[in-house]
Amino acid sequence: MGTEDVRGLGHRRLATVAWMIATVALAGCVVDSVDDPSLKKSRRGQDSAEEETGSPERGASASGDPSSDGSSGSYGFLPGTAKFRKRLTGADLDTAQRWRVAGTDLGIPYVLENGSIGYLFGDTFGSAWPEEGNDWRSPVMLRSNVHPNAPGGIVFDSAAKVAGNGRAPELFFNAHDTRKVWGNPPSEFTAIPNDGISFPETKRQIISFMSVNHWDPNGLAMWRTGYAGLAYSDNGNDFVRLKDPIWPNNEANTDPFQMWTMQRDGEWVYVYSVRAGRQFGPMMLRRVHWTKMFYKEEYQCWGKNGADWGWGPTCTPLFEGFIGEPSVRRLSDGTWAMTYLNTVIGSIVSRKATRPEGPWSNEKIQLTTLEEPALYGGFIHPWSTSKPNDLHMMVSKWTRGPDGRSTAYHVSHYVGTL
């Protein structure tokens, strides 16, 4: 991978860092003077960060519409509540020595078919810094059966497609085509995991991923995808990337089904999705029977038909905002937890609900860019609970020094309260 290619790969986080710094200042200092109505909507104040949205005054129907208008409140410089627990990856840790997973991000945790946890990593390198271009691959999976509350924290015990120690390879084909061409199909710069899910009945795992067309900022989007797709494995190691179904993006980068998070409840898999690039847009909800995930026509939308909400062919946003990669998990007590990066305030925030459709609470700040510079992710560990100090999140960080070279590119474990 050449120098120019690596620079392109870095545009996502470099632009995000600069933008978050600016927007945090906006959120803290000049909320009332912002002219962009979409920004005002995202930051419109509420009386309580824990109050559930969905009343008629906030765009909901009097009959109990379980949607939300995405109101976030005027946060200013409020600190987050999550605390650092442990750094999980890096060139100085055994992830590099054992599996050549040094510089990496995401670490999306999901329950495997055997009950342990798989962690999905995005653009991964054999050296500390992406600009070195050393053994670039994505996605990669490490695994662990250690509870995040264990005294020593999360410890990885194996890598997918590896017997013991050895280089952790890509789980499935990644084109690594750096031309950034919009065609049919668009060129694929890299394949980045969105989420994973497994089914004990069949021992099958399914990974949702986004095919990234380029990392170049365009307007308020940090990158553009060509499409969202699925890959599966029936043995926990060998994944098959499906050519169909896919969910194509458009050249304007506005399709709201590009970045997924998936959670099963009973016979249904609930799929929450947003646009690529952490831009302003809707949070959509669909569901599909767990045996029908490969059949696009089987996906049902949660939407509004007149005054009534229900499952049908058309999705209505749960809420809107500047939303980064989403993460949703149903916790052991039945609480639904959601996290994502709110790029207006540069913070990982959480919401909660009692059912998948909502109503969803207003945002609660978990971690800010003031506490963890250049943060993103915030993926919920499925063994989290709604008890105090038991919301476990995997948080990514990519910082650079004045010379433009990386100073941190890794995943850490943070613990907050839902």
* Number of domains within the chain: 1
d(CA 407, CA 91): 12
Q: Given this model, what pLDDT does residue 263 score? A: 98
Q: Calculate Rg over the CA atoms of the chain.
A: 20
Strand (E) or helix (H) holding 162: none
User: What's the pLDDT tens digit per position in 147-184?
Assistant: 999 999 999 999 999 999 999 999 999 999 999 999 99
Instruction: Give the start-end residues of each E strand in 253-363.
Output: 259-265, 268-274, 280-289, 300-305, 308-312, 319-322, 327-330, 336-342, 347-353
Q: Given this model, what pLDDT does residue 80 score? A: 83
Instruction: Give the start-end residues of each E strand in 71-179.
Output: 83-87, 106-111, 117-121, 140-144, 158-159
Distances (CA, A) of 168 to 91, 254, 304: 14, 34, 45
37 prior amide bond cis, ω within 30: no
Closest CA to 382 of 121, 118, 153, 105: 118
C-beta separation of 222 from 173 below 8 A: no
* pLDDT tens, N- to C-terminus, the chain (418 residues): 443 444 345 444 444 444 444 344 333 332 222 233 232 222 222 233 333 333 222 222 222 344 444 444 444 456 788 999 999 999 999 999 999 999 999 999 999 999 999 999 999 999 999 999 899 999 999 999 999 999 999 999 999 999 999 999 999 999 999 999 999 999 999 999 999 999 999 999 999 999 999 999 988 899 999 999 999 999 999 999 999 999 999 999 999 999 999 999 999 999 999 999 999 999 999 999 999 999 999 999 999 988 899 999 999 999 999 999 999 999 999 999 999 999 999 999 999 999 999 999 999 999 999 999 999 999 999 999 999 999 999 999 999 999 999 999 999 999 999 9
C-beta separation of 395 from 340 below 8 A: no
Query: Tokens in use for 358?
Result: 């909502």
CATH of the domain at 283: 2.115.10
The CB density around residue 211, as the number of other CB atoms within 10 Å, is 25
Q: Is 284 left (phi over 0), alpha (psi -120 to 50) or beta?
A: beta
What does the chain come to in residues?
A: 418
Domain with 382, as residue range(s), is 3-416
Mean of the per-residue pLDDT values for the chain?
86
Enter the pTM of the model.
0.86
Q: CA torsion sign, 288 to 293 to 295 to 301?
A: positive
Q: Given this model, what pLDDT does residue 33 score? A: 28
Q: Is 71 left (phi over 0), alpha (psi -120 to 50) or beta?
A: beta
Q: Is 191 left (phi over 0), alpha (psi -120 to 50) or beta?
A: beta
d(CA 324, CA 264): 22
Q: Is 292 left (phi over 0), alpha (psi -120 to 50) or beta?
A: alpha
Q: What are phi and psi of 244, to 5 degrees?
A: -150, 135
C-beta separation of 381 from 117 below 8 A: yes
Q: Counting beta carbons within 10 angstroms of the beta carbon of residue 297, is it exposed (0 to 12), middle (13 to 18) or buried (19 or more)? A: exposed
